[in-house]
Amino acid sequence: AGRGRGTCAGGGAAGGRLCLALPMWVLVPITAVCLGLFVVGVAGNVLTVLVIRSCRDMKTTTNLYLGSMAVSDLLILMGLPFDLYRLWRSRPWIFGQLLCRLSHYLSEGCTYCTILHITALTVERYLAICFPLKAKVVVTKRRVKATIGVLWAFALLSASPFFFLVGVEQPDNHTDFSRECKPTPQALQSGLLATMFWVTTCYFVLPVTCLSVLYGFIGRELWRSNSRLRGPSSLLREKGHRQTIRILGESRYPSDSGKLEILVCSGGLMTMLFSQYFNIFALQLFYLSASINPVLYNLVSKKYRAAACKLLLPHRAAQRAFTVTKDPGGYTETSTRNEYTTSF
């Protein structure tokens, strides 16, 4: 955003004028939407991390992945203020070379990390549903934590070229006003942009293929289980599996919108005007994807809502803990379910 046609208002080039990438009537609602996503996303993802860390029965293997994804989404949202700045003031870039490169690098690396987390979590759910006995032995909290560490390291390493892909360029050597955070000429000449385009493509095509195959196996197993005789524990386990799959299905697959715009525009495949508005639309989808997961958890999972209520309203949660429900067999107390029965 902010690398195409725009309007400049104010004084001369050295006078700190305001260069708008888009008209004011477009910028104001876009800014309002982005600020709303920022508030909801930061608050929701922080709450998710705190809920998983503080509630003992929430520390399942599945929730470890979801908590790590929440951290990734928080880091992605930290780049939103810089994108808004580029929308309102495309030049000059006042945050220096390091933040220019770091903001792009973290956005790319965390996007890769989230994609890998979704894929690994789906593999775990596939094992838990299709091979439950084997999963209890293979999938442990210790191994999941190690896997999460490997996913972060691999994602950040594969995104490392993006740290050198952009920089603060100053075409006009006579003024500081022309400083802009954008792809460097060296990256264009060296073929680094084309390389990262294929890396980004692989991060989309390969995981989507893997997810499609695994969801097919999971769906077949759940469909077969409908025809089997089951007791109460089996029904509860199946309900938990379906809830987890529902959360994964409604969860977003992150779009690499900002980097796609850089790669496409630099290759001359779109007009600048179209790419501007495409990038603005994709930018909002990108930050929506980083903000929506906690909302989905709250809507889908009673367990998440109860844990969040316990964390935010401990007095109310304590009162509800004394509430006893009655069934035909007398007064009963809800027990903690096995982590392979449910996640959230």
- Tell me the per-residue pLDDT of 163-214, one tens digit each, with 9 for 90 and over: 888 888 766 555 556 677 887 777 667 777 778 888 888 888 898 899 889 8
pLDDT at residue 7 in the model: 47
- Tell me the per-residue pLDDT of 108-143, one tens digit each, with 9 for 90 and over: 999 999 999 999 999 998 898 888 888 888 899 999
Q: How many degrees, rounded to 5, is the angle at CA 212 between CA 112 and CA 341?
A: 90
| Alpha carbons within 13 A on the beta-carbon side of 100 | 21
pLDDT band of 228, cuts 50, 70, 90? low
Q: What gap in Å lies between CA 257 and CA 195, rounded to an integer?
A: 17
pLDDT at residue 34 in the model: 93
The end-to-end CA distance of the chain, in Å, is 37
Using DSSP, state whether 16 is helix, strand or coil: coil
pLDDT at residue 70 in the model: 95
Residue that has been written with the tokens 């399942």 in this structure: 60
Q: What gap in Å lies between CA 202 and CA 208, rounded to an integer?
A: 10
Under DSSP, the state recorded for 253 is P
For the ranges 130-144, 184-198, 298-312, 322-336, the lowest mean pLDDT is seen at 322-336
Per-chain mean pLDDT for the chain: 76
Q: What gap in Å lies between CA 103 and CA 94, rounded to an integer?
A: 13
- Tell me the per-residue pLDDT of 244-269, one tens digit each, with 9 for 90 and over: 555 555 555 565 444 444 444 444 44
pLDDT at residue 150 in the model: 97
pLDDT band of 27, cuts 50, 70, 90? confident
Residue that has been written with the tokens 């501007």 in this structure: 276
Taking the CB of residue 41, how many other CB atoms lie within 10 A of it?
Answer: 25
pTM beyond cutoff 0.85 = no
In CATH, 7-313 is 1.20.1070.10? yes
Whether pLDDT at 282 is above 70: yes
pLDDT band of 20, cuts 50, 70, 90? low
What mean pLDDT comes out for the span 219-244? 60
pLDDT at residue 19 in the model: 54
Structural domain boundaries in the chain: 7-313
Q: What gap in Å lies between CA 93 and CA 153, rounded to an integer?
A: 30
pLDDT at residue 249 in the model: 53
